[in-house]
């Protein structure tokens, strides 16, 4: 099988897993409500049972990993282009979500991360850069992003991707929390409100993810200063500044929650603001350099 086939199969599996999970969530709810059970009980029991979406997601992740390896691998060095890193981050986010869902009630996040991973793989397909099938122009365009990875640099990249991934999951969790809060304010008991854990549980999960994400981001920034020659070099200064600003935003949010009792929509806005800074710090600058300027 070729990387193109792997990508196509993973896309189908991701979308099938998201669709099946949606069906699985909605069908038991209506059945349980007809028996007079509470929505929370229905949602919790549904979320606690493993389903076909886990198997579909696991197979898709394996195929996704093979596609990512094909993109990153180059005899001259590792390809750290926007496309390769987007595909890698999508892979790690999906893997983290699937593993965490075995112990935490965050399986509904797969309704977001599965389609996002499918979108990242679709971009890889359209790029013409998959493995041995990549055309000459596409391979040549990737040469500028090749980096020879030393062990310290590799460690920094792994920690940074882990931080991005955890905070991406936190951002997705905040989106679900915002939707849930809006529906509750509108006194709506339909749709997503029935499918999610209680709002208090959703908030606890969000802040747990933020604490872990901030700790990992702290290590990532610290490892950058320790392992890289100059974190404020011209080509990465914007990334360093925006990553530090994101750290400040997340730290202020956690302080505000701990001391001032920030929660709900305030927590959502701060979470998304910090996440936006992280995205701009790496992916935004990569997009401008590779797509807009064509470097």
Between these two residues, 13 and 124, which has the higher pLDDT value? 13
β-bridge mates for residue 147, sequence order: 78
User: What are the structural domain ranges in the chain?
Assistant: 1-148, 149-295
- Alpha-carbon gap, residue 59 to 66, rounded angstroms: 11
Of the candidate ranges 3-12, 34-43, 186-195, the one whose mean pLDDT is the lowest: 34-43
Task: Identify the pLDDT of residue 91.
Answer: 93
Phi, psi angle pair for 79, to nearest 5°:
-85, 110
Give the chain's mean pLDDT. Answer: 79
Q: Return the top range by mean pLDDT from 197-201, 233-237, 277-281, 285-289.
A: 277-281
- Alpha-carbon gap, residue 5 to 9, rounded angstroms: 6
- Alpha-carbon gap, residue 184 to 192, rounded angstroms: 10
How does pLDDT run across 4-37, given as a tens digit for each residue? 899 999 999 999 999 988 887 766 544 444 444 3
- Alpha-carbon gap, residue 182 to 226, rounded angstroms: 44
Between these two residues, 47 and 93, which has the higher pLDDT value? 93
Query: Strand locations in the chain, DSSP E?
Result: 78-79, 146-147
Q: Return the top range by mean pLDDT from 72-76, 141-145, 166-170.
A: 166-170
Between these two residues, 75 and 33, which has the higher pLDDT value? 75
Task: Identify the pLDDT of residue 13.
Answer: 95
Task: Identify the pLDDT of residue 197.
Answer: 77
23: number of Cβ within 10 Å: 13
Task: Identify the pLDDT of residue 31.
Answer: 43
How does pLDDT run across 164-177, given as a tens digit for each residue? 989 999 999 999 88
Helices (H), 35-150: 39-48, 52-72, 82-100, 110-127, 136-142
Task: Identify the pLDDT of residue 231.
Answer: 62
Task: Identify the pLDDT of residue 189.
Answer: 60
Decide: residue 115, CB within 10 A, 0-12 exposed, 13-18 middle, 19+ buried.
Answer: middle
- Residue 256: pLDDT over 90: yes
Please give the biggest Cα pair distance in the chain: 65
């Amino acid at each position: 099988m070729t990387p193109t086939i792997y990508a196509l199969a993973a896309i189908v599996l991701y979308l099938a897993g998201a669709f099946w999970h949606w069906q699985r969530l909605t069908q038991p709810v209506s059945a349980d409500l007809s028996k007079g059970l509470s929505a929370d009980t229905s949602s919790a029991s549904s979320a606690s049972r493993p389903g076909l979406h886990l198997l579909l997601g696991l197979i898709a992740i394996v195929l996704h990993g093979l596609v990512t390896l094909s993109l990153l691998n180059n005899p001259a060095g590792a390809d750290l282009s926007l496309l390769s890193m987007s595909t890698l981050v999508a892979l790690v986010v999906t893997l983290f979500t699937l593993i965490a869902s075995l112990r935490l009630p965050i399986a509904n996040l797969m309704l977001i991360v599965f389609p996002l991973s499918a979108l990242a793989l679709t971009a890889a397909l359209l790029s013409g850069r998959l493995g041995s099938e990549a055309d000459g122009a596409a391979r040549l365009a990737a040469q500028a992003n090749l980096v020879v990875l030393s062990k310290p640099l590799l460690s920094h990249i792994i920690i940074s991707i882990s931080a991005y991934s955890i905070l991406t999951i936190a951002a997705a969790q905040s989106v679900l929390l915002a939707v849930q809060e809006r529906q509750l304010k509108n006194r709506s008991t339909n749709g997503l409100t029935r499918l999610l854990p209680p709002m208090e549980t959703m908030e606890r999960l969000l802040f747990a993810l933020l604490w872990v994400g901030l700790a990992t981001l702290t290590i990532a920034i610290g490892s950058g200063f320790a392992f890289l020659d100059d974190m404020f070099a011209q080509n990465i200064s914007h990334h360093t500044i925006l990553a530090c600003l994101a750290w400040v935003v997340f730290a202020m949010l956690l302080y505000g929650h701990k001391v001032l009792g920030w929660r709900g929509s305030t927590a959502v806005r701060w979470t998304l603001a910090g996440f936006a800074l992280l995205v701009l710090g790496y992916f935004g600058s990569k997009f401008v350099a590779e797509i807009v300027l064509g470097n």
